[in-house]
Amino acid sequence: MGMLNLPGFLSCGKKKDFSLSNEKDAHASANDENSERGNWSNKGDYLLSMVGYAVGLGNVWRFPYLTYQNGGGAFLIPYTLMLALAGLPLFFMECSLGQFASLGPISTWRILPLFQGVGITMVIISTFVAIYYNVIIAYALYYLFASFQKVLPWSDCFSWADEFCSKTQLVSDCNATLDGEIIHANYSFIINNNLTCINGTMNYISGQFPSEQYWNKVALQRSSGLDETGGIVWYLALCLLLSWIIVGAALFKGIKSSGKVVYFTALFPYVILLILLVRGATLEGALDGIEYYIGRQSNITKLMEAEVWKDAATQIFYSLSVAWGGLVALSSYNKFHNNCYSDAILVCVTNCLTSVFAGFAIFSILGHMAFVSERPVSEVVDSGFDLAFVAYPEALSRLPVSPLWSFLFFFMLLLLGLDSQFATIETLTTTIQDIYPKVMKRLRIPITLGVCILLFFLGLVCVTQAGIYWVNLIDHFCAGWGILIAAVLEIIGIVYIYGGNRFIEDIEMMIGKKSCLFWMWWRMCWFFVTPVLLMVSVVNWVVLV
């Protein structure tokens, strides 16, 4: 199919040239359709990069908890609807936009100069996310190295623990009554030892698992708050440096090098998840955990609660990484007639199925932890950092050959984090390439290295004793309202100002003509449903803040 005249939209291929130079990129191959920027070496490089970008840490440490909390299997109903009504339409739009323009998130908006701030917002958000995301990778590296011990350092209450550390998380003190007077014994004890309280009452005090105290006291050396910065935790700083070295090495040739690395980093986490699931399924209590996840706790009446639908929309929106700029940047290296529609469907479905699959691996082992600690599953389930670095490590420490399982888990977290980070940094370097093409063509490696070094130094504040507070702060604000606002403006700009029907014509130039029935769904979503859902999400976020 020959190149057509583009109807007033951005260039693609060789019809229009928004670049500052016609020189061939040193990293573009002879077979590339776009000799100025280069293209993916093959379709597999692109698809795995997109899967790696979309499938991140949230699929493992957030989705399973939300499913359990919001009605178990019933939560999959709003989750699937939000995928179809909000997540997939935005994902398809951004992939199409990047592929048609062959430009990054800022330069793409030359179609609407007034909305160029949308692209700038995406790049700024990606910059902040890149800073703290590599800190999370550094945490995973630290725990990965800590797993190379015969006995996991968080498997028991060692010298760093205080009196509230307990593997049962229950500490009691004994109040004995004698001659009408209350005598407070000056000792406390764990309920599973041999001490008893004679003629008295047991006062239960909630204790802390060894993994929780290890996370706060040893790994983070957590201070009391954001105002108490403390010093840099040197071993976390070294792990942060190593994580940036890995990212820089994978991106030294841009998509030509990262596209090969993702064959391992995007696929091997599935192998580890399968291994963890098989191991977890053989443990006592695993079935209880899985039933809590998607079986016994299933409650269809939960769908009457607005909070459930809000959680489903939020999880879909963030897990697909829309409005971050990465989808536009990665898709900009596609060939013009690539079928971005089928790519969007495949990546979105893979992302959601991965979330569900990860939940079985997580809850099977948490069910075993609840069994051995003689507690309900609901008391050991958590999300976010508390799941990844407290609850799950605690559960793994109770397995035979626990260092092996710990190594596999944190290696999986490392790979999931790196995939997302590759695309985030590629977003930044693509932006530089589009603005300063001549410089980028000559100095790609030094510029990529410079970006990594700069972000490493900016991230040092996140590996101080108050670092975890900075990570949570950036995550809450930069990855919160900013992305929602960018998404709202993006869809308004494309659909209502540039023109939704015009945009559909542009897509058909790439993937071929489609029937009116085919576009009916996408028109309904882009023109009405998706903008409304985004606006509701923005209002909900503002109310919560």
Which residues are part of a known binding site for Na(+)? 52, 54-55, 59, 319, 351, 416, 419-420
Residue numbering of the annotated binding site:
52, 54-55, 59, 319, 351, 416, 419-420
Pairing relation of β-strands 200-206 and 181-190?
unpaired
Distance separating alpha carbons of residues 459 and 255, to the nearest angstrom? 24
171 forms beta bridges with 190, 205
> In Å, how far are 293, 304, 353, 544 from 299, measured between CA atoms?
11, 10, 21, 25
Contact 534, 86 (CB under 8 A): yes
Closest-CA residue to 21 (of 37, 10, 32, 42): 37
543 CB-side CA count, 13 A: 8
Distance separating alpha carbons of residues 83 and 304, to the nearest angstrom? 19
SS3 content of the chain, % helix, strand, coil (to 5): 65, 5, 30
Distance separating alpha carbons of residues 38 and 25, to the nearest angstrom? 7
Contact 106, 119 (CB under 8 A): yes
Distance separating alpha carbons of residues 317 and 516, to the nearest angstrom? 27
Q: What does the angle CA 148 – CA 57 – CA 117 come to, to the nearest 5 degrees?
A: 135
- Give me the sheet containing 181-190, strands edge to edge: 181-190, 170-178, 200-206
- The residue type found at 28 is A
Alpha-carbon 16 to chain mean position: 36
Q: How many CB atoms lie within 10 A of CB 342?
A: 11
Contact 105, 487 (CB under 8 A): no
Distance separating alpha carbons of residues 377 and 366, to the nearest angstrom? 7
Which residues are within 8 A (CB) of 246 and not within 5 positions of it... i.e. 6 or more apart? 418
Token pair listed for 293: 């996840």
Closest-CA residue to 210 (of 272, 255, 146, 264): 146
